[in-house]
Structures are given as C-alpha cells and as structure tokens.
Copies of this chain bind each other. A is one copy, B any other.
Amino acid sequence: MSLLDRVRHCMRRDMARFRPFLIDTTRVGWVADEIADLLRAFPATFSVTADAVRLAPGLDGFEARSDAVDTVLRQLHAQGALTGWRDETYAVAPSFHAPPLLRIERAAAPAFGILTHCIHVIGFCGDGQGMKLWIARRSLSKPVGPGKLDLLANGGQPMGMSLRDNLRKECWEEAGVPDDMADRARPASVVNYMFEGQRGLRNEINFVLDLELPQGFVPRNVDGEVEEFFLWPAAQARERLAESDDFLYDAALGLIDFLIRHGAVGPETPDYLPLIHGLRSRPRE
C-alpha cells in the first residue's frame, strides 16, 4: 500500500454506468443507471432518456425545481430507496461561484452525482521536523466512516452558509476550537475527487485550510461526532496513511496535500507527481 493508493481509491469510477443530469442544457451531475430507472416513475419531475436525466420541461425557477425534486426524494426515502436523510441542503450548480439552480437534500447528492464542496481543516503545531498534526477518530455512530481517522475538522458546505461561517461551525462542533482561533485558519489548497460509492457518484471539491494551533491547546469534541483526538508527528501520519486505509477516504486526500505542501512528502518520492496530479486535477468528465 502507498499514499498513491489513497488517491487512486478516490478516482475509481466507471462512467459508462452514469448518464448526465441536466437542468435545461447545463450538466450539474451524473445519475447511475439504477437510480435513473427509479426516477422514471416520476415523469412530472424527471425526464429520463438513454442519454440523460433531465428536469422535466416547465419546471422553471429555483423554488419550483427544488420543491418538485424534494417531493420525489421524500417518496424515495419513504420507500427505503434513499437512505441517510440529513435534513440539510446542498446547492446544485455547475461550479462553486455559479448561482444555484436547485436545492437538494444532502443525502441525495451522490445519487445525482452533483458537485459538492467541503472544508478540510488541518490542525497542526510546530514546524519542520517537529511538526505535529491533530488527528481525530470519528464516532462509531457516524453514518459514513464510523471509527475512521479524520482531520481536526471536516465538513460539507451547506447551502447558504459562507465558508467562514462553516469553518467556525465545524471547528467548534468537531474540535471545540473557539471562533477567534478558527479565524486564524489559512486557505491553502484544494483537493478533488470523483469516485463511485455505494450511494452513487461522490464528486467533491475540498477547500483545504491550515490551522496552526497554540502549543497546549487540546481539541475536545462538542457534537458527539468525534471519539478522540491524537497529536501525531507528521511522519507518523504519513506512515499510517501509506500503510493502512484507516483514514476516511477524503481526509486522506487533504492530509496528503498538507504533507506535500509542508515538504514532508517531496520530489524524491517516486509517486510525487502522480500524487499531486491525482489530488489536484479536476476529473475530465
């Protein structure tokens, strides 16, 4: 196993199984064949053809689209075809700064392969050889990745919330980091992934932020979603990343990017360029 295996895991997909999800002529996601078949039962909302899933003609405007889709999703949820309802919505748009075309329940994002956004907060102390990283172990009750190793804070970007407010929220809820300390986080990178998971296509852009924490500050979880925190030398995190899949898949990407940016993984590593290009290139689809 190697660091590159962590990156390759997040690139695995067979796009032949997916067809574009279109709003008017704008592609905003990808729908797997089995989901497309389910959507055929709702022709007032979805137009399903062999080459695409489209919102039905006449569904114009953000609210009308969002209401119609929400009604379908609630039926699929009631039937057991859509699990893990979160009561949190994501914006559906072709890119981060584009105006949203639709609002969708978070649990349905992979089913429609929509582009989602997330913040990765890497908590660290010291630098150079003495640098240490704060690593979380996720609660055993989390629906995704229970017990997996994770970043100081790692959270989806909900619709209508600024990145800064989400940063403060996640830092507080996951690690008990007060706002003034969270505000010191520095946007530093972006990692991307697109892979086929159990619930569909995970197509995400992760904003990576570095947060240098004061010596002596110890994160404590507030919302019950983290089991415990560890403070590891960078080399220990690197070794665990390379030799196990103990980290949550996306946390692994943010952490590898951090290790690259801070010189803990350098050009002498044979996989250095494939790692960087795998982490940072947008998928071609």
Residue positions of A touching B, CB distance < 8 A: 95-97, 163, 186-190, 205, 207, 260-263, 266-268, 270, 272-273, 276-277, 280-282, 284
Check if A189 sits within 8 Å of B282, measured CB to CB: no
CB closest residue in chain B, given A119: B267
Set B186, B207, B260, B280: member contacting A277, Cβ < 8 A: B280
Q: Which residues of B contact A187 (CB under 8 A)?
A: 260, 263, 266-267
Set B163, B260, B277, B281: member contacting A267, Cβ < 8 A: B163
A-B contact pairs, 20 of them (CB 8 A): A96-B267, A96-B273, A97-B273, A163-B267, A187-B263, A187-B266, A187-B267, A188-B260, A188-B261, A188-B262, A188-B263, A190-B272, A190-B276, A205-B273, A207-B267, A276-B280, A277-B281, A280-B280, A281-B281, A281-B282
How far is A281 from B192 in the complex, measured between Cα atoms in Å? Answer: 11
Shortest C-beta distance, A255 to chain B (Å), equals 16
Check if A95 sits within 8 Å of B273, measured CB to CB: yes
Beyond A277-B281, A282-B281, whether A261 also contacts B189 by CB under 8 A is yes
How far is A277 from B266 in the complex, measured between Cα atoms in Å? Answer: 20
Q: Which residues of B contact A190 (CB under 8 A)?
A: 272-273, 276-277
